[in-house]
Structure 1
Amino acid sequence: MIAIVAVPKSFCETPKKPSSDHRPRKKRHRIGSSGIVPYKRRARKPIDHAKEGRIMTTNKTGRITGTEMEEAISRFERDCRSDGVGETVRSFIREPLFIWMDALAQASDESVSHSEGEFHAECGLDRNMIMRTTVGINRMLSIRDVFLISAIVDERYADRDFLMSFAERPKLSRNAQRLEQLLSDSFRDPLARPDMKRCDQAINMLFDIIDMIPKTYRAQPFAVISYIMWWMGQEGAMASAISALAIDDQCSLAAIVCSAVERRIGPAWTSET
């Protein structure tokens, strides 16, 4: 799983319940009468993700039901057993990941002129792609992490071949070491400013995914949003992390973000602004 400066430890590839990574960790929050209270301080309310004026990035044809998600997860797990994890991840995630990355590239391309509110449909995640993405980021943390990394690290350094390789084989030494180096370099370099347009696009797409899926499966998308916002130096990071923990109090990525925000830890570039 992603830590603040790097380190994919051993991944939990099949969480026992939706959205939970079930990593053993020290408790950093408690449940009070008014909800989750991290670090003995009252938390902000969970984020209201229905933001006015937000550009839609999905082709919606109706929200995904819990039954549909359960069937998709069963199919994914069945394919993992019959075809192997690597082959299943490749066939299940490659298309939505590449559509996602096309959208990020489009958003960050300053040479392309877009009218306000315009979004190219070919770069949008449709209902099937959203379902596959949701299954992936909930069932394998390596898949969650490649969606996160693709937003905060430029594709020149974390290309699609590497991200797919990491999603399929996160414990492979060269994959783990490369990811650790990418995050460490980006975290410590004061000149490594994030591509704000790319990050904003990722956040918008994740909010649209959240709009489409049952609440039970929203913790990991909220956690990824919180990490991207933290990386960008945005105040919304804590609220998004609290939203994830309100759904799944074992979501350690969200707890990491809460800890970083509370301790005023951030990427080096934020101290230069």
Structure 2
Amino acid sequence: MTANRTVHITGMEMKETINQFEQDCRLNGTRKAVHSLISEAFLIWMDALEQASVENDEPWRVGVTRTECSLDRDTVIRITVGMGEMLSIRDAFLISAIVDEQRASREFLMDFAERPKQSINAQRLEQLLSDSFRDPLARPDMKRCDQAINMLFDIIDMIPKTYRAQPFAVISYIMWWMGQEGAMAAAISALAIDDQCSLAAIVCSAVERHIGPAWTSET
């Protein structure tokens, strides 16, 4: 999936969507507002990840051609605003890249994005993260991860710099999970924009301490 990199989204467009989301939260509640904001964009994202997983039969390699599909302007805005406004939305996109749909269905991830404080959702997400970190057999689907990273870089190319922190942070985590050296650079890029970005700080700390997921044998 690619975005039209010749299209540049303005800060005004971002602010309009943020204001609409905040108003929707006040009028209809957070759950309905989140669903309205990202449900369609999330399906587009998930479809692209699944296509990357199942359609590319050749062994994964750096630079492999990714599944092509168009990320339109509205989808990019909604993904970016969602990640910036609610960490549960950001985490849903992150988990979707590192965990396959058999273990983390799109229905569960959307429900988590909408209701992160629901105990069953919070416990399930924590378990998924723990398993992916501690289980040496939980190896990344490189094609799926690569597709997510490329889509996020495409998004970053389209949006104003001030909104790039969370996409960079998600890239840094996925790269760390994959054992790629670019994880630190992506995390630093996120922190340069928002020095309070906790996900990027976590990745920086893990890389500096040579801590990695169990499959990399660094833990």
| Alignment TM class, shorter chain as reference | over 0.9
TM-score (norm 2): 0.93
1:104 corresponds, among 49, 54, 75, to 49
Letter in 2 for 1:200: D
- What 5-or-longer segments of structure 1 have no aligned partner? 1-55
Contact 1:61 1:127 in 2 (8 A): no
Instruction: Work out which structure has the larger RCO, using CA pairs closer than 8 Å and 6 or more positions apart in sequence.
Output: 1
Q: Which residue matches 1:197?
A: 143
| In structure 1, distance between residues paired with 2:141 and 2:57 | 15
Q: Which residue matches 1:220?
A: 166
2:38 corresponds, among 93, 98, 103, to 93
Tell me, what secondary structure is at the counterpart of 1:109? helix
Task: State the number of aligned residues.
Answer: 213
Q: Which residue matches 1:130?
A: 76
Residue 58 in structure 1 maps to residue 3 in structure 2? yes
Contact 2:66 2:147 in 1 (8 A): no
The alpha carbon displacement at 1:118 in A equals 6.7
| In structure 2, distance between residues paired with 1:133 and 1:186 | 24
The alpha carbon displacement at 1:237 in A equals 0.3
Higher helix share: 2
Q: Which residue matches 1:242?
A: 188
Tell me the percent identity. 76
| In structure 1, distance between residues paired with 2:68 and 2:144 | 15
| In structure 2, distance between residues paired with 1:158 and 1:241 | 25
Letter in 1 for 2:118: L
CA pair 70-182 structure 1, distance change in 2 beyond 3 A? same
> After the TM superposition, which residues 32-51 of structure 1 pair with which residues of structure 2 at under 5 Å, given as runs?
none
| In structure 2, distance between residues paired with 1:217 and 1:62 | 16
Contact 2:5 2:154 in 1 (8 A): no
Q: Which residue matches 1:173?
A: 119
| In structure 2, distance between residues paired with 1:143 and 1:237 | 21
| In structure 2, distance between residues paired with 1:259 and 1:152 | 20
2:18 corresponds, among 73, 83, 88, to 73
Q: Which residue matches 1:268?
A: 214
Contact 1:206 1:221 in 2 (8 A): yes
CA pair 112-99 structure 1, distance change in 2 beyond 3 A? farther
Residue 139 in structure 1 maps to residue 79 in structure 2? no
Q: Which residue matches 1:209?
A: 155
Letter in 2 for 1:70: K
Q: Which residue matches 2:61?
A: none
Instruction: Answer with 1 or 2: which has the greater Rg.
Output: 1
Letter in 2 for 1:205: M
| In structure 1, distance between residues paired with 2:13 and 2:147 | 26
Tell me, what secondary structure is at the counterpart of 2:137? coil
2:128 corresponds, among 175, 179, 182, to 182
Letter in 2 for 1:236: G
The alpha carbon displacement at 1:61 in A equals 5.9
| In structure 1, distance between residues paired with 2:56 and 2:8 | 34
TM-score (norm 1): 0.75
